[in-house]
Chain A
Amino acid sequence: MRVAFFLVLTIVGALGATAAAWVGAQPVLLAGALVVAFLGLAGASAAAAVALHAPDDLREPREPHGPSAPAPLPDDGISRPAFGRLWLGALGAFGVLGLVPLISLARKPGRRVITGWRAGVRLVDENAMPIGRDRLVDGGVETVFPQGGVGLPEAAAMLIRIDPELLRVVGESGAAADGYVAFSKICTHAGCPVALYRHASHELYCPCHQSRFDVLRGAKNISGPAPRPLPQLALDVDAQGYLIARGDFGAPVGPDDWDRVS
């Protein structure tokens, strides 16, 4: 009786789900009908299992799976130990052959980090607009790219405007007029974008693993798992009053690896 109830529930649920999908009902209705169908199935089987009152102490012997008795090899000429070794050798030769495709994959590649920054190239924003001297107020930040390289993964830099007097006191080099400084936005720990800036403490902050970098000390890593400072992009202003780079970043961008020998 109970089994029948649950089976009817299954039929209702399954057909209901079909209908819900057919008419394009809200996902919650479709999924709800599926819940009814599956619960019905589970309920019917559980009720049937209970109704069986089957014994739960049936016994079946466990046969041990041990080593089998060694059988003598038939002396048919091809099973002799010398041949055995040759068979193994033939297999091993195929193993060596199999290494060829693996090694062909394993040619050690280089690592190209394309930043696109050169001396004289203009800073542009995400919309490829060049950035003038009056772009940011004190404490303002902007993600910048080299002109012609918007969206290059390793090119992104954080442009920050800081009180020039403060920069003069700490002796920050690489700053352009009006207190503009720029650092790579790619964290030296795991390559996440160092996307947050706290003006009160002049710190860049990585949202992935919470490394902090002191902008007034050349974006030195002061807390968290980053092993070295964010590379600086030295800035200048061109004749038209737009910000330009004085060259590429002062250090390699992104996380280090074994073959990056500085």
Chain B
Amino acid sequence: MIVRRVVRWLDDRLGTNAGARYLLAKIYPDHWSFYLGEFALYFFLTLVATGIWLTFAFDASAQGAYGSVLELADRSHPIGYVIRQIHHWSADCFVAAILVHMGRIFFTGAFRRPRELNWMIGLTMLMLASLTGFTGYSLPGDLLSGTGLRISESIALSVPLVGRWGAAVLNGGDSYPGPLLGQHLYTLHVYLLPVSLGALIGLHLFLLIYQKHTQFERDPKHVVGRRFWPDYLLRTVAVFGSTLAVLALLAALVEINPIEDFGPYQPWIAANGSVPDWYTAFLEGALRIGPASEIHIFGHPIPPLFWPGLVLPTLAFVLLLLWPFIEKWLTRDDATHHVLDLPTQSPLRIAVGGALIFEGILLTLAAADDQTAATLHLRLETLVWVYRILFLVGPFIVGWIGWRIAAERRSRIIESTVYPSEVTTLVRTAEGGFEEEEPQPA
């Protein structure tokens, strides 16, 4: 009753009913893999909700940060404990959900014309999500995150020409740790990065609705699926509920980031087995197996961590960002695609995607090379060389194997597929004869 009156009140003044009716009746294709992006969205909403609460409990000053998070990590204050646990777990899951969603888009070719722009927006959001996660991880001022910050500062410092500027922007001064370091991280983490993410999510969803979703149904002229209201809304609420349930379960059972065990950051203390949150571990691994030699250009040194710390992730990012255009250039396919491929239909994507996933996993493993070497009774140097060789050779082997498997499967599918255009339907006429029905548009 109240809802109806509010709706009428709004409609009277703004004419909202026509638009609402259109949006509620819109058709969305249905497939389990289309929900992966929604998981990311719900992790983001959870992060915003818990994060707003946390800003009221967190002391952003350099002296107070560690103590205030220590209070949140105290189990005798269950509300703060659970909210902080859900926040951190949600951040780790957020990046994971984006990556899995991105894998679905990549391997089914959903990024092709006309959706290249939305792919690039998504990739930008992956980078922003990682940065938001890293700045948040760095806020409490514990030993683990402080050590990570020092490494990041060294990476910023390593950039040719502008390194000192980058480090100074981070530090808020010309020495480490700068007086404004914590304040800068806080502004980035609670304002600049999440607001940018929110704006890009809005754009991402607008483009999704405007351009309509891709589908597996081989009918490029129509969207085939379910209505938003009530079918799809119920399904997405189910996704939302299960996302939150999983987060609450993790918060209840597995304590994440126990800063009370790490102690406060002191620049001259470090512990063995220091590793960052999982989505930045690949960088840590790259630093570990990276080269040790410092090259000099006109007497200016380029520190060794510039290559694994900045060049490598930038190259990977640019390759992925431009992938729709690279694929277009390689396959000469610039047609509009609303119908998705099965992953094995494109040996190229299997090869390139497989190689990238291999490198990501390898570098993440390399971030634990000291523990691995100790467990396997190997010399660390031996293991580092194994990782280095695998890093250089592995992607080609994985790519080649992926290509072969996909190409073989594709040729088998092509042999066994009967195209709809070859199927004729006979319709019995009133006179008792048979007539061939017009073929349906594929």
Binding site for B on A (CB under 8 A): 20-21, 24-32, 34-35, 38-43, 45-46, 48-49, 52, 54-62, 64-65, 105-106, 108-114, 143, 151, 153-154, 156, 185-186, 189-193, 195-196, 206-211, 221, 223-228, 254-262
The residues of A that contact B174 with a CB separation of less than 8 Å are: 109-112
Within 8 Å of chain A (Cβ to Cβ): is B253? yes
Within 8 Å of chain A (Cβ to Cβ): is B135? no
State whether A59 touches B287 (Cβ < 8 A). Answer: no
Given known contacts A111-B167, A192-B151, A34 and B223 CB-to-CB distance under 8 angstroms:
no
Q: Please, which residue of chain B has its CB at the minimum distance from the CB of A39?
A: B245
Contact with A along B237-263 (1 / 0, CB 8 A): 111111111001101110000000000
Given known contacts A143-B268, A208-B151, A225-B288, A38 and B164 CB-to-CB distance under 8 angstroms:
no
Given known contacts A26-B78, A27-B75, A65-B211, A110 and B164 CB-to-CB distance under 8 angstroms:
yes
State whether A191 touches B225 (Cβ < 8 A). Answer: no
Secondary structure of the A side of the interface? loop
Contact with A along B204-242 (1 / 0, CB 8 A): 000000111000010111111111001100110111111
State whether A31 touches B223 (Cβ < 8 A). Answer: no
Given known contacts A60-B27, A109-B165, A111-B164, A257 and B270 CB-to-CB distance under 8 angstroms:
no
The residues of A that contact B381 with a CB separation of less than 8 Å are: 223
The stretch that binds A, out of B104-112, B291-299, B412-420, is: B291-299
The residues of B that contact A105 with a CB separation of less than 8 Å are: 169
What is the CA–CA distance of A228 and B161 in the complex, to the nearest angstrom? 21
**A-B interface, 10 closest residue pairs, ranked by CB to CB distance from nearest:** A42-B241, A31-B252, A156-B268, A41-B241, A153-B267, A38-B245, A34-B248, A49-B234, A227-B294, A38-B244
What is the CA–CA distance of A32 and B245 in the complex, to the nearest angstrom? 9
Checking A30, A59, A62, A191 against B151 with a beta-carbon cut-off of 8 angstroms, the contacting residue is A191
Q: For residues 75 through 93 of chain B, which have their beta carbon under 8 Å from a beta carbon of chain A? A: 75-79, 81-82, 85-86
Given known contacts A41-B241, A225-B304, A46 and B226 CB-to-CB distance under 8 angstroms:
no
The residues of A that contact B231 with a CB separation of less than 8 Å are: 49, 52, 54, 56
State whether B164 touches A109 (Cβ < 8 A). Answer: yes
State whether B252 touches A28 (Cβ < 8 A). Answer: yes
Given known contacts A59-B223, A221-B292, A210 and B245 CB-to-CB distance under 8 angstroms:
no
